[in-house]
């Protein structure tokens, strides 16, 4: 296991990806003279390539012609214009995300690429190609220690996106060679006081019978602040009184299940944030309604909730091996706090441009982005060791029962994602599953689909591991 994204930041001499402002002359000179690895993304390469002072094309063997984007502007009459959206790699097509809302005329995509070509095959190579249906272009070009990536692979990422291509090529950028290794993780999700013991025992027995390690994402303190599921009467169930939860956890623990702390209450205060105010439904460390940190957001406030949850678990006989943020989303301060309480987080991550972001600034306003990882990260920006969740989870459209569950994501989707994850030479297949999908009143084939997911990932050659065993 190589912690490449962390190593990437440490090993590369420089990185220029975003913005159109002029680069410092000293930076451009260093880029041309350094013996260290340089990885350049998309923009601003023209400052080197079109300035005769740097002799870029002759030196690197790369010709840069400019940017290419949509062949025509998206419109209601032309909703699907051509652009370079398909990266071919290891026998699979990695498609860039594209969505167009005709009603608002809003495009969600990153269509532009830097149009660079190999001018001298003795100096430069093209290990990866991108296509637009009619033409092809280099997606990655290498000239000794200089690498050019034609777009920003961190934009609009997903489990079958060209981002995975970059995370694999990163091994070559850093000169790290090791045998292929493909591990798998499965987590039973949102397990709280009202969990079905029967569903948990069914899932536990299946995994135990297959000798598959697993974890249980546990919510220590159940809160229904508005009485949404209790006839309008608020309900609070601490772990000490959560008979169903403790029965399920004890059963899982005796059969190898590991405990992951999944929030303290997995909801926030006495508000719908945004759904019901009930544990498991809502955000806890972020006001998703206002898209801001919660009013109490601070290191001490976050530590209070984190430590309270750990104390409850330990006092009832459970030692959590990792932290998982509710809906994978906390404030920056809460993320930093979590890294001081837990040695490991197990999630996708959210990163902010400031610990106390200002999303409404007139100039240089802050923003946040989400990121998934295909392998374990030794230490991220907030000090967290991160275990990956990279495949997603099974979903069913039961909007007539629950308006928030309104789309399908199948076991075939999860297994296909695992197939794509194998293109990363140490890529994980990591997914989670909600035990409530086994409840008969929902009328969905939850258990059968869970088994098909496990079997499909196993047949791809992955080795199942427990979170605590990931190195």
One-character DSSP codes across 150-192:
SS-TTTT--TTSTHHHHHHHHHHHHT-------EEEEEEEEE-
What is the per-residue pLDDT for 14? 46
Burial class (CB in 10 A: 0-12, 13-18, 19+), 367: exposed
Q: Residue 471: which pLDDT band, with cuts at 50, 70 and 90?
A: confident
Q: Cβ atoms within 10 A of the Cβ of 74, count? A: 21
* pLDDT score for 1: 40
456 phi/psi in degrees, rounded to 5: -65, -45
The model's confidence at residue 16, banded by pLDDT at 50, 70 and 90, is: low
Q: What percent of the chain has pLDDT over 90?
A: 92
pLDDT of the residue at 9: 42
- Domain extent listing, the chain: 4-174, 183-469
4-174 and 183-469 have identical folds: no
Confidence (pLDDT) at 18: 44
pLDDT of 437 strictly over 80: yes
Report the residue count for the chain: 471
Residue 19 has pLDDT above 60, yes or no: no
Would you say residue 353 has pLDDT above 60? Answer: yes
Token readout for 277 is: 């105010």
- pLDDT of 15 reads 53
Q: pLDDT digit string (tens) for 27-82?
A: 999 999 999 999 999 999 999 999 999 999 999 999 999 999 999 999 999 999 99
Which residue's structure tokens are 């809460």? 334
Which of these ranges, 6-20, 297-311, 324-338, 423-437, has the smallest mean pLDDT?
6-20
Fold classified for 4-174: Rossmann fold (3.40.50)
Strands (E), 14-131: 14-16, 38-41, 62-68, 86-89, 92-95, 98-101, 106-109, 113-118, 125-131
Q: Give the fold, CATH level 3, of 183-469.
A: TIM Barrel (3.20.20)
Q: What is the mean pLDDT of residues 95-108?
A: 96
* Residue 341 CA from chain centroid, whole number: 22
Give the per-residue pLDDT at 21.
62
Rounded alpha-carbon distances, angstroms, from residue 108 to 98, 104, 126, 160, 227? 6, 11, 28, 17, 38
The mean pLDDT of 424-433, rounded to a whole number, is 98
Of 50, 47, 38, residue with least CA distance to 11: 38
Q: Is the pLDDT of residue 22 over 90?
A: no
Contact status, residue 398 vs residue 441, Cβ threshold 8 Å: no
Give 313's Cβ-side CA count (13 Å radius): 28
| Tokens of residue 296, six digits | 């109490």
Q: Encode pLDDT of 364-395 as tens digits.
A: 999 999 999 999 999 999 999 999 999 999 99
* pLDDT bucket at 179, cuts 50 / 70 / 90: confident
| pLDDT per residue as tens digits for the range 255-294 | 999 999 999 999 999 999 999 999 999 999 999 999 999 9
The mean pLDDT of the chain is 94
pLDDT in tens, 443-457: 999 999 999 999 999
């Amino acid at each position: 296991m190589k912690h490449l994204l962390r190593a990437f930041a440490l090993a590369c001499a420089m990185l220029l990806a975003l913005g159109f402002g002029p680069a410092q002359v000293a930076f451009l000179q260093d880029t041309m003279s350094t013996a260290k690895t340089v990885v350049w993304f998309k923009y601003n390469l023209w400052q080197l390539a079109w300035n005769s002072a740097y002799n870029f094309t002759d030196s690197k063997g790369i010709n840069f012609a400019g940017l290419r984007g949509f062949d025509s502007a998206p419109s209601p009459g032309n909703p699907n214009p051509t652009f370079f959206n398909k990266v071919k790699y290891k026998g699979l097509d990695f498609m860039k995300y594209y969505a167009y809302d005709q009603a608002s005329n809003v495009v969600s995509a990153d269509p532009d690429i830097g149009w660079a070509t190999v001018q001298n095959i003795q100096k430069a190579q093209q290990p990866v190609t991108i296509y637009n249906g009619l033409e092809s272009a280099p997606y990655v070009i290498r000239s000794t220690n200089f690498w050019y990536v034609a777009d920003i692979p961190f934009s609009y990422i997903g489990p079958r996106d060209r981002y995975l291509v970059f995370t694999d090529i990163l091994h070559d950028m850093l000169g790290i060679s090791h045998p292929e290794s493909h591990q798998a993780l499965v987590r039973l999700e949102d397990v709280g006081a009202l969990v079905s013991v029967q569903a948990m025992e069914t899932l536990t027995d299946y995994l135990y019978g297959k000798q598959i390690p697993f974890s249980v994402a546990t919510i220590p303190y159940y809160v229904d602040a508005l009485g949404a599921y209790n006839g309008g009467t608020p309900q609070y169930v601490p772990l000490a009184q959560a008979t169903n939860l403790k029965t399920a956890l004890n059963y899982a623990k005796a059969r190898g299940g590991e405990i992951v702390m999944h929030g303290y209450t997995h909801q926030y205060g006495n508000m719908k944030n945004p759904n019901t105010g009930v544990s498991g439904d809502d955000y806890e460390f972020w006001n998703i309604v206002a898209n801001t940190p919660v009013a109490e957001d601070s290191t001490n406030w976050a530590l209070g909730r984190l430590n309270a949850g750990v104390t409850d678990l330990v006092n009832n006989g459970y030692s959590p091996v990792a932290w998982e943020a509710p809906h994978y989303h906390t404030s920056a301060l809460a993320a930093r706090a979590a890294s001081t309480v837990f040695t490991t987080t197990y999630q996708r991550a959210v990163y902010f441009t400031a610990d106390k972001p200002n999303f409404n600034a007139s100039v240089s306003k802050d923003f946040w982005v989400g990121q998934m990882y295909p392998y374990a990260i030794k230490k991220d920006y907030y000090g967290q060791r991160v275990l990956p969740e990279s495949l997603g989870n099974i979903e069913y459209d039961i909007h007539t029962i629950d308006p928030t569950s309104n789309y399908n994501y199948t076991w075939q989707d999860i297994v296909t994602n695992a197939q794509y994850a194998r293109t990363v030479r140490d890529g994980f297949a990591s997914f989670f599953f909600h035990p409530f999908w086994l409840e008969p009143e929902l009328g969905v084939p939850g258990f059968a689909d869970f088994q098909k997911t496990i079997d499909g990932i196993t047949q791809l050659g992955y080795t199942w591991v427990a979170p605590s065993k990931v190195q």
